[in-house]
Amino acid sequence: MAINLLKTAPKVQSSITSKPSASLFFTTRRSFSVPLYSPLALAVSSMSYEKELAAAKKAASLAARLCQKVQKALLQSDVQSKSDRSPVTVADYGSQALVSFVLERELPSVPFSMVAEEDSGDLRKESGQETLHRITELVNETLSSEGSYSASTLTAEDVLRAIDNGKSEGGPTGRHWVLDPIDGTKGFLRGDQYATALALLDDGKVVLGVLACPNLPLEPIGSSNQHSPLGDVGCLFFSTVGAGTYMQSLAGSTLTKVSVSTTENSEEASFFESYEAAHSLHDLTSSIAQKLGVKAPPVRIDSQAKYGALSRGDGAIYLRFPHKGYREKIWDHAAGCIVVREAGGVVTDAAGNALDFSRGRYLDLHEGIIVTNQRLMPSLLKAVQEALQQRTSSTL
């Protein structure tokens, strides 16, 4: 049965061939040198999280399929994103329900805990019943299309429970999945970049990450091919601790091991920044770019797709400096962090401290987040700290 994704529905009864938020993402020439890992580390990491990685890839890929269906219907409709956010609401909840269901089904013997963005509160209200009905239909249609879950028909109550699996607070002990069902919702509504970002914490450390980026080209992104209308799009990036980062198409093509750029010269770089100026201290990132000698104009991109693109060498630096008072959530960075780190990159706060995902649903940071390679980190940190000091002095 076809599903109308953009209009109200009846009320429910209770039941690859392989080939950027507040941000600055410098791009430069790609490099495919592969970081070195010992055979022992590779074997241990693969053995420890093999089942979890397979489940995470399956969950994120199915969630991306659901989101693609909703976005396609949205872009083909007359709905204006500024006045109607219901399509992204359907996709957001549906994505979270799918990921939760798949992880529990694929890993039945493991105590399940998930830290995620959504809960079912609004859907349980009378006003949310029509939306819940649409979500339930869409989740079931996506599961049926996958094949192995064709016998599983979820009720509305099943979907609500799956969504509410994301209420965990995480923390320093045990295993916790970390999910952003649609990272980059405004990009999703515009038909631009977004990602389903899924990571696994083990005793407070990110040990696994998957980024499904349905609109990210398989070729390197830049000012001329960010959307790549004529090329192949849809990337899946994934990493486990000690085993590197891989990319393939969402269609399931051959794996490619990727690595970050090895450039040492920031003057050769251009930079990406968040599409939404409201998410970014653009004056600060512009000051940092000037200190580094960057000459090229910025290219704008949404979501953790930036982490994926950086991991394969499209860019060299990504900076995120939210407006005052904003607290970073762990689901906005956990998957992207390990994807870049396992590709040979470095992810720290503005003081050079490693990100700590063991403190619950939020990150405690000094100012912002810096992502780059080992060679550029010293000069980048220097430029960042000088720019922050100047900004503080100017406000006194």
Whose tokens are 């396609």? That residue is 72
Q: Tell me what pLDDT residue 81 has.
A: 42
Cα-Cα end-to-end distance for the chain: 63
Residue 31 lies in a domain: yes
Count of other CB atoms within 10 angstroms of residue 202: 16
Range of the domain at 16: 11-42
User: According to the annotation, is 183 in a ligand binding site?
Assistant: yes
CA distance 336 to 249: 17
Q: Is the dihedral of CA 261, 346, 376, 26 positive or negative?
A: positive
Residue 195 and residue 308 in contact, taking contact as beta carbons nearer than 8 Å: yes
CA distance 183 to 68: 14
Phi/psi of residue 205, nearest 5 degrees: -105, 140
Catalytic residue among 27, 28, 89, 92: 92
Give 379's contacts (C-beta < 8 A, 6+ positions apart): 266, 292
Residue 22 lies in a domain: yes
Average pLDDT, 10 consecutive residues per value, the chain (396 residues): 43 36 48 39 60 98 96 74 70 97 94 95 95 96 88 92 97 97 92 96 98 95 58 93 97 91 84 65 83 77 92 90 89 97 96 96 90 92 92 76
* DSSP symbol at 354: B
Q: Tell me what pLDDT residue 35 has.
A: 38
Decide the pairing of beta strands 299-300 and 270-273: parallel
Summarised one tens digit per residue, pLDDT across range 280-323 is 577 888 888 889 987 766 667 889 999 999 999 988 889 888 88
Residue 51 lies in a domain: no
User: According to the annotation, is 180 in a ligand binding site?
Assistant: yes
Residue 27 lies in a domain: yes
Q: Is the dihedral of CA 335, 340, 343, 347 positive or negative?
A: negative
Q: Indicate left, alpha or beta for 171 from its phi (over 0: left) and psi (-120 to 50: alpha).
A: left
Residue 220 lies in a domain: no
SS3 call for 362 = strand
SS3 call for 323 = coil
User: According to the annotation, is 182 in a ligand binding site?
Assistant: yes
User: According to the annotation, is 117 in a ligand binding site?
Assistant: yes
Residue 30 lies in a domain: yes
Domain count, the chain: 1
Residue 36 lies in a domain: yes
Catalytic residue among 27, 136, 142, 185: 185
User: According to the annotation, is 164 in a ligand binding site?
Assistant: no
Q: Note the pTM of the prediction, 2 decimals.
A: 0.87
Tokens of 23: 């941000």
Active site residue 185: yes
Residue 345 lies in a domain: no
